[in-house]
Amino acid sequence: MQLLKILCENDIPEIYKNTPVGELIRYQNLKKEFESYQNAQILVGMCMDNRKQLRLPENFAYIIRTGGANLRYSEFKISYAIAIGGVKHIALIAHDRCGMVNLVSRKQQFIDGLCKNAGWDRERAEEHFMNYAPIFEIDNEIEFTFEESKRLEKKYPLIKVTPLYYSLDDNMLSFII
């Protein structure tokens, strides 16, 4: 897998030029002037990380934010966006320096933080971490997002799912290919 960074209109692959994914890239990377939308054009699944923010017009996208852009437990929300919202495209966005990668290395910080910030006792905090960290930890954000996009395309065969990568350093999106 590699990243295809989009710096100008000609960098957008032809298959995405006239799609909501192409528009997403234009808004984020190329600073396209916002158009007006009455209905969502796309569902964006992205990490809950506060360090990233997409530049999108109102009503353009449904957005689901979850740790590591892991949508395994958001399928009803995805189904809603497709069934009721009528979206035909999903952009699944990973990013660099994701906190869900190597989550086990943050075990002590996680436990200490729940004790200090939430008033939990240490045993409860550790049990919570041990029960949920294996579910949400990802090994590699690029590989996970690529595989998750394939899983979602199998589940929703008429929907185009595109894996993208967000760079925290320059706020740019790249295609994962």
Q: Domain ranges for the chain, please list them.
A: 3-100+140-176, 102-137
Q: Binning pLDDT at 50, 70 and 90, where does residue 31 land? A: very high
pLDDT single digits (tens) 118-129: 999 999 999 999
At residue 98, the pLDDT reads 86
% of the chain surpassing 70 pLDDT: 100
pTM for this prediction: 0.92
Question: Residue 66 — very low, low, confident or very high, per pLDDT cuts 50/70/90?
Answer: very high
Task: Kindly report the length of the chain.
Answer: 177
- pLDDT tens column, 46-61: 999 888 889 999 999 9
CATH of 3-100+140-176, one of 3.90.1150.200, 3.40.50.2300, 3.40.1050.10, 3.10.20.740: 3.40.1050.10
The distance between the two most distant Cα atoms of the chain, rounded to a whole number of Å, is 55
Mean pLDDT of 160-170: 96
Q: In the β-sheet with 173-176, what is the strand arrangement from edge to edge?
A: 3-5, 173-176, 160-166, 89-95, 42-46, 61-65
pLDDT tens-digit profile of 120-158?
A: 999 999 999 999 999 889 889 999 999 999 999 999 999
Give the C-alpha separation, 136 to 149, whole Å.
16
Integer Cα distance of 175 and 89 in angstroms: 14
